[in-house]
Structures are given as structure tokens and as C-alpha cells.
Structure 1
Amino acid sequence: MAGSRPARCSRVDPRDQSHGASATGAPAPRGGRRSGPLSVGTRRFGGLSIVAARAHLTEEFQKRYRGVQADITLLRPRRILIHVAGEVVRPGLVELQGPARVSEAVRAAEGLTGGASRRNLLIERAGGSVDRADLDRYSILGSLADNPYLDDGDVVQVPMSVHTIVVFGEVTRAGTFEFRSGDRLSGIIALAGGTRAGADTDSVELWRFLSPTESRRLFFSLRTVLADPPGVPEDPVLEPDDRIYVRQKPGWHRSATVLVAGEAVHPGAYSIPPQGQKASELVARFGGFTPYADLNGATVFRPDLVPREDSAYVRTLQPGTDSGREDAEFLKARAQASGTLSVRFRKLVAERDPKSDFDLRDGDLVRVPTRTGSVAIYGAVRRPGAVAYRPGARLEEYVRDAGGYGERADRGKVRVTKRATGQPMRLADASSIDDGDLVWVPERERVSFIKAVGSVTGFLAQVATVYLVIHQATK
């Protein structure tokens, strides 16, 4: 058989060229022997499939001859002419090998234009009847009935796509679908690939426009709508521009994850309950910390702590304006906000202090740095740099390791920057100096002679003013 048509689909037409032949068995007439060509005369097979024509031919042969199995071969399928009009790249007359479907005629016209309809194609038959084609149901669902065969002289009309239906939520292919008159909810859900595993099949929300500015919300049971057979009364007929929302079941497979990085025995991602988990429990799960872990420097980064957008109040506090001191301090603290949660892993792990325990949340990142074994000390010291860390050592010991204070060291303004938070603080506010901390010893402010004289002069002037006021008052 020429072409690629399956025999059960191809139909014989009077314009097809075919060949009938006898096959196996002993070709003898009923009641005697006979040699030579076999014949059953002229038979009409127009409109029958190849399979049906073969069966019909075998039956005719067996009426006259014993043991004959007939066959039929399609030598040259007919050619058909189809008119394709409307929203195709090259409208006009196309020639196809019969039988052919609507999709082949569209392809022969070099495909659809950008705004063409895929679900409302019309087929005007030579006999006057009109059929419809839905290429989406054919390509997505494999519905052959929506991609019918064409006959010679048929006209395929491809209109513009006008109305749509939008499907949101828990379906395989959420998106916009062309509306076709008579669409039901189950049909559109099928075009959207069906529902996902987490879909709430007890209800689906449908928004329907009653006017250009008015709409209403309807609810239907997906469980009933998708039941067999389709088209039950509960399966609503859709209208142009409907919006369908398929919700997810509450709490469906909700998960939470915490990442652990650095000097943990088993770093990596850990699933935690959606409501969170105590830090002590997670520490036990990842096996605790390695001997090289710097527990004082361990931090928890929480993305929700990072400011994402300035409030109206913050936008009014622009640097360089006449904001008060408290406002300036607020802006400085906000600029330093890094999303780091204030935690005390050493107290929690080493001292087993239950008050230091805290809840970890979804998205948290636990960072456990490696111990540096040093404290950095800079500024007005004789040998600035890193010195060996000694647990419990005081500032004076680290200063001595750095060669002592410089001549202009301002000992009352020493600052300590904590490794864990990066936050500078006064020495008096730091409970201890820990591994990896940075100590800054500033210099005393230099006061010039002229400035000193000016300060003294100003003081004497104020004293003179006070004396004159008192003298005048006592006269």
C-alpha cells in the first residue's frame, strides 16, 4: 500500500487504483476443478476501508471457489483538493493525498497565524453540511473525532481566536485556553493536563463576568465534575472569559529546610517540621561540632530579618539632613542589619544552658566557622596585628602581647568588634574577648596650640560675662 495510511483508516474511492488477487488454497469452483484467472466480476468498494474491502472480496471469492484467500492492494491513492481560508500563512487551494485530516490541510497551508483559532475551525462539506475541528483536543488529548477526515472540495475556515478561559493553580498546564461554545469544566481541566496530586478536589472556584464591571464567584466539586461519565449535571457549561482556580489542599506536603555549613560533623540540608525545631535537637541530628568549631562565632542567618523595603519613616530620614541623634543612630543600625540572629551556641552546647535554646525556621542557615586561634588588635599599640587567643584573657594581656599601648592611646575608648555579629561595641559592654574578635585602640585627639588658646579665651570670656552680670545686679 502506498503512503503511510493504516489499512483500517484508508478508504477506497472510485478514483483509487487498486489490484485484487487470489492467494492461498486450491482455486477450484464449487463442484469441480478449474485453472486460469479467477473472477467475481465488477464490485464497488467506494467508501469502505481497505480491511473491509478485503473481507468483502474474500467473501465473494469463497462463494465461487474453495480455499481462496483474497487480497487487495492500493496502488495509487487518490489526490484531493481542499480550500483553506482565514488565519493561515498561505490561504488557498492545497492538494493532499486522500484520505487527509484537517490538521494536514492546515499544515499544507504553512500553519496558523499568531491570532488564529485552534479550537473553532469550520469544515464546509461539499454536500452542504458543516463540521467543526478542535486541534487542541486532537494534539493534547489525541481526540481523532476533533480532527476529522476531509473530502475532495471541502473548505476549511480558520477564524480568529476571540474568547479565552484561564486556569490557575494545581493543574499540570496552567494557562490560557481558547473558549469553544459548549465547553464544560471537565473538558478544560482535561486540556490543562488534569489536576496535580495536591489539588483540592472537593471544590474549584470559578469567577464569571456578568458585565464589563461585575462578576461573581461560583464553587463546584471537582470530585463530582471529573467523575464518569462526563457531562453530568454538576459539570457546568463554561462561558467566555471564565476564570478557574484549582486550589491546593491545606498543608499539602509542606516542608521546611535548614542548611548547616562549616564545622559541623555532618553539614548539609536538614528537613525540619513546618512549625520549626529547637536548635539543640538539630545539633543532635547533625552530630554536633568538630574540634575545630568556633562556637562563639557560630551564627544563624535568617532571610526574613533583612529589610526588603524602606518604610515611609525610613524614607524621610535621608543622610545629611537635620535628623536628630536618635534618628542617625537608627539609620546606622539599620544599615548594619545583616539578617543574623543573635544566638549563643557555646552556652547551648558547652554549658547546656536551656535558656540559650531557640527555634530554627524554614530557610535558616547555620554557619559554624573554624577557630582562628587569634585575636586581632590594631590602632594605638606598638605591634598591631594578630595575637594568640587565650580563653578568659583580658584586654591588658592582649595589649601586652602586642607590645603595649602607644604613646597616644586613648584607653577609655577601646572598641571590640565581635566576630559572630560584626557589631562593634565598647570594651565595657563586651562580656569577654573571644576567638576571632577584633580590638581597636584609638588615639587621643590632637589639640593644636591655637585651638587650646581659643578654648581658654572662650572660657575666660564666659567668666567675665558672669562677673559683670553679678556686679550689675548687686549695685
Structure 2
Amino acid sequence: MLPEVFTTSLNDLWPMDTSTLLPSSIELRMHQERAANQERKRREAEGQEQGRRLTESGQPIGSPEGLSRRNRAITGIHPGMPGQQGPNLQPPEDTRAKGFSMEQAFAQFSVLQTVKRRLKQFGYEFFDLQASSFAAVQDVPVGPDYVVGPQDSLAVHVWNVPDPNLNRSYIVPVERDGMLVIPRVGAIPVGGLTFSQVERVIHSRLRKLLKRFEVHVAMARLRTIKVYVVGEVVRPGAYEVSALATVSNAVYAACGPAKSGSLRQVTVVRDGRVVAKLDFYDFLLKGDRTQDRRLQAGDVVLVPPLGAVAAISGAVKRSAIYEFKPGSRLTDLLQLAGGLTPVADQRRCHIFRMEPGRGRVLIGVDLAAALKATGKNGNARSRESEVDPIIQDGDYVRIAALPTQVANVVGLAGAVKNPGPYEYRPGMRVHDLLTRDQLTVDAYLDRAEIIRTDPVTYGTQVIQFSPVALFKGDQEQNHRLHRLDQIVVASQLRPPKLVVLEGEVKRPGYFTIEQGERLSSALKRAGGFTPNAFPPGMVLIRESVRQKQEAELERFIAGERQRLAAESAGVAAGTAQLPGGGASAEQQVLALRLQQLEAISSRVDLGRVVVRLDSIERLEGTEDDIRLEAGDRITIPQPPQTVSIIGSVKNPSNVVHRVGLSLQDYLDEAGGPTEDANLKQMYVMRANGATESAYVRVKEMQPGDTIVVPQKIEAKTPKLALWKSVASIVGSIALAAAGIAVIGR
């Protein structure tokens, strides 16, 4: 039983209504949020009071004088930087680089090395993240060695007491004098004690009052301490951080070191003396935070200026700019970069160094020897500076990669069972690579080839030999192989010859043809024509004809271009004495000639073979029943219903075909020829691709015919002999187009 003095509920004496039956974590969090809101309101009130004073003194609140860096450092208020929660805003990229840019300096230094991207200073991007393991800690459990002090709040949970009214939980703050006042229990001195000691003290005090009970003590709220972060940081100043905060938490609260600050020499000053040093590289490279000491109120975290740096790139795992310690060697820098990649060429390591009086110098290093001298674990101290040189401030190390081409290789290709690359060995001969078992059944044994590639010039040489003689023991055929040689064995099998039939045939698709097979045979194999077929409009495109036409057309156009260029020079000289209007008209004529010349290739259906076809029965035995070639494409269209009129007519269009209409009738349907129409050069292109001169007046127009009316070129300037040559050139262009269209018939 409790003494009489303890029978009243402890909550009756507790000024805040925060006691419940075993409060949950949500209720504890609500208490923390209320305390944080009170602290924020207090700071806002202090800021308003400070603004009022500055306004009364005649200084605007937003001016640098009204809110100086010193005032920000004292209050610990920074934009987007609450003291306990870490930065809310990511610092701009340019705020981390102060003044001189080390990255820019190395970018200019390494221009000669074809570096694809600018090297970054190692480690600084870690502080650009909005969330980090270095963020201020607040909700983590405290350890048994945590020293309890003023402004800490403890949650004391009491249960398993016979009187149900005494099963209570309390949130009790530590007073400034270090006392923990529990109503009906009294004041307990806890200031300066560790958390484990506080648990024992509270348990001992309750034992004197209760015979049977259970008690649990936890931290409800941690106190904050004020520390100062100065030196080369993005936002120097005073910060209120958690009592559990370490050096890294304070540096992170200040947005991290500037790129002009050191990551390897961060110091903690307490009462005027250095009590700790932190090398961030230990955490970033090894995950080691043993040097990350816990801070105390009033500590000063100093980030000194950047120390000596060197850059390394190429065939390393982590190319960057690193800050190194005095006396570091090349292998130490290589270890910071994560080591070599598998493709590193240890024979091609270069150090680019700035030497006073000499400028930039290049130092070659045998990296293999340096690694061997260092030892397998990298801790050997018997290294010599010549083998493993000491790195100097500003050095740039470039390690080249091995070439991607395989050096010791020969190849086997063609009619063999296992084609591909093989290892080349000195003294290797053909029979070492090509055996009878390697050949396929279709291999051509009378002749094979060795394609030899010069490793210096990459020129090729073809050496022929006989596999049959080789297998019979003829040593003259057993050539000595060189690296990069490739043995090619031909096949006796020929690929099938295929043609394509599409459009209005009953079975369109790909068809294999025999040697000498004709068009009528392929059409029969395709099932003949459908009821919607228009045989006279058949289009046969042949690759061999297309290549020949293309060559002829290119040769013709090239010759005409040269001719136009020569005559243009004569025109320029001949029109020098003509009035200004004549020169302008001459330029228009030349431009038109060039346009017509360039339009030739688009007018001609390259590769088309003209075939007159009415039916398969009439085709057989005629000259139009041509032999097919591999790659031929045969298209049977549907019956056309129009006649096309293009060129120099007033209304180029397609006119519905009507029986009995003449060529002149169709010209009239298109509005008639224009003033510059050249009716003498007019021609008709039939549906089968054949052309007929309209000068003799085509008697009957058929569906699918196209009437082409060329343009007549006449000079507006005085008649010179030159204009006759102009007309002849344009005329020859049109005739050439018509001639090329029937090549291969």
C-alpha cells in the first residue's frame, strides 16, 4: 500500500494535461509538435521585435545592414535552414563554388586530353541531396551513455501497481538546475548523469515508495544545443542542433562545405583548443564514422580552405578531382579513384604537371612497376619516387585504355562448321586452323582464300590456295598465317533466285525461278490474273536495269551541268553590254534550265522494263515474254479510268477517259496549253511505260495514258546564237529522258 501522501493522483499536480494511461507514440509526437510550434512562435516574435527596432533606427528590414550575416549567425536563422530539421532547400549549384573554380581550372588544363566531360570534385555532391544520413537527428533512440541535461524531457511510465489509479505515465522536463521533478515523488538530480544512470536513480526512488511496480524510462524530447559552423561552408553561422548531433550533422545543417573548403581537415574547437578532426573521405570511401564526434554546446566546427588536389581520369573506376594528404603517391591517388578498370593499359599512364618556369610538362609512368612496388595490399613502404612518384598539387593523371581490337586473332569464315575468331599462335599455318572435319558438305574445295590485313596500314591482300591439294599433303598450300588473317571457304550452293508478283494476281508472293524461266511461266504459277487486273499496265522493275539507267542518267546530267556552266560563263560575258533588263531575263532562263535539268531524275521510272501485255496466251512466244532475273518485281494494277495531262497546261489534271476523245480534246479539258508550251516536244506515255511522240498526233488515247507538255524556253533578250543552244539543250534533256525510259526492253 502507498503512504497516505501518495494516494492523490500525480496528474492533479502536473500543470500540463499530457498524462494518459500508457501514452502511445502518436501522443508523444503530438507533444513534440506542440513544443516545436511554441519554439517557432517565440522565434517569430523575436524576429518581429528585432525588425521593429531596426525600422525605428532607420534601417530597412530587408537590407543587408538590417539583417547582417552577424545577426543571422547569432540567431541561427537561415533561409530554408531550420536548426533542428536540416536544410529544406537544396543550395543552388553556384553557392557551393566560391570564387576560384577548381573544376574549371582542371577543365582548361586537360583540354589536350579529349576528356568527354568535366571532372567533378569528389564528395561535394553528397551535400546537394535533400535527404542524407548526415541530416540532424531527433527521433532516434538515445544510447545508455547519453548525458541528460536541462531542456531534455523524459517519459516515465509506471504500471503493475495494485491500485489501478496509480498506473500512470508522465512527461517530465529536466529543469535548469538539473533536477527532474516528479510530483508526489520529489526532485531527483539527473543533470550530468548518463541515461542508464537516470533509469537506475528513478527506479531506486520509486522502490522506496512502492512495493510492487514496473517502470520504464524513455526520452520524450531531446534538448537542442547551439554550435557554430564557420570557414569554407555554404552557409556559415550559428545553428541549434540536437544534443545527439555530431560534426557531420552540423556541417550538413550549413549546406555542407563549399568547393573551396576541405573535406579532409574538418576540426572541432572547444574552449579554444582542437578536440577532434574529421576526414569525410573515411565515410565516403569506407563508411567509417568513428571520427564523427558528438558535439557539445558552444562547439565551433571549422572547415578550412581546400588542401592540395589532383585529378585522375581514364581507365579508373571513379574519375574525379581528389584532395590528397601530403606525401601521397600515385598509387594512393589510384586507390582514392577506386582502382583500375579491367581495360586499363598499365603501360600508358601519364601525369600532366605544372612546373614553375617550364609550364605544362608530361611525365610517363610505368604503372605496372608502381603497383608491383606498392605490393598487393598497397601498404609497402619500400617504394621509390621514380617508380611510384609523389603527387603534387594540381597534377592531372590520365590512364589510357587498352585498344578494343583483339591483337592475337585469326578468323575462319564461309562454308565451315565453326566460323569465327580463333587464337593466333606464332608459327601457325593454314592446316592448324582448317581441317577436313571443319568443312561443310557444300564447301568448294578447289579454291579458298586467305584475306590478309596489314596491322599498320590496314590494307588487304588476297592469297589463294587449294584445300584439295592441302589435304593431300601439298605443303605449298599450307601457308604460314599472320595475325588478323581470315580464311574464307566458298560454298557450292547458290542462293535461290526469287521474283515478286504482286497486285491483281490470284496468288501474289515470292516465287523461285529456274534458269531461263520466262514471264508467262511466272504469271501462270501465280494463278493468272484476277477479274480486276489490267495487264497492259503491268510494271516490271529490274535491278540490273535500274543500276544501268542510274549510271546513264548521272553521266548525262553531269555532262549537261558542265555544258551549262561553260555556256553560263559565255552568257555573263555576252550580256555585259546588254541593257539591265536583258541581264535579268538571262538569269531567269539559266535558272529555268537548271530546274529542268534537276527534274529529269524524278520524271523517269528507273528500272522499269516496258512490256506489251494483253493476256498470258498472247504473251507466250513473243519478244515481250522476256527471261526473268533474280530480284524482278512484277506488279499488275487495276484498270485505270483516267488520262493524265501534266506540264505546261493551264489546269494539269486527271480527266476521265471517254471513248472517241482525241489528244486535242484532252488538252482542251485541261484548259489548253500555256503560252510557253512546247507542243513540238509533247509526247504521250502509255500505261505500259512506252512513250510515243504526240507530234504525229496519237490517233486514240487509252485509259492510263499520260500527256506530257514540256515547257518552251525563249529568251526575252536580243536573239543571239546562244539562245538556239539553250533550246537544243533542253530538247536533248527531254529526248534523253524518253530514251532512258526504254533501256533494257
TM-score between the two structures when normalised by the length of structure 2: 0.33
Whose Rg is larger? 2
Task: Point out the structure with the larger helix share.
Answer: 2
